């Protein structure tokens, strides 16, 4: 992998660590990073972000179902 490709993978991982909200995107970034460096320091943080993103999606889904129930 070239230096630019490595930098892009790390950059995406940094973005997902701070701003990622879609579990699939966070997981993809973590997978790409783990391919180039299985012990990279960002991986545990990405895992935490993934768990939070999954939790947020569940909470939002529950809120939508509750709202739909009250509106119907």
Q: Which pLDDT does position 69 carry in this prediction? A: 87
Q: Which pLDDT does position 66 carry in this prediction? A: 93
Q: Which pLDDT does position 1 carry in this prediction? A: 80
**Residue 61 half-sphere exposure toward CB, CA atoms < 13 A:** 6
Q: Which pLDDT does position 70 carry in this prediction? A: 87
CB 45 within 8 A of CB 26: no
CB 16 within 8 A of CB 25: yes
Per-residue pLDDT of the chain (72 residues; tens, 9 = 90+): 899 999 999 999 999 999 999 999 999 999 999 999 999 999 999 999 999 999 999 999 999 999 988 888
Q: Report the alpha-carbon distance of residue 26 to residue 46 in Å, rounded.
A: 7
CB 9 within 8 A of CB 32: yes
């Amino acid at each position: 992998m070239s230096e630019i490709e490595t930098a892009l993978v790390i950059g995406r991982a940094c973005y997902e660590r701070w701003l990622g909200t879609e579990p699939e995107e966070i997981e993809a970034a973590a997978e790409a990073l783990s391919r180039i460096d299985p012990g990279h320091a960002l991986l545990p943080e990405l895992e935490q972000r993934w768990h939070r993103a999954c939790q947020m999606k569940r909470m939002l889904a529950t809120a939508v179902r509750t709202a739909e129930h009250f509106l119907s």
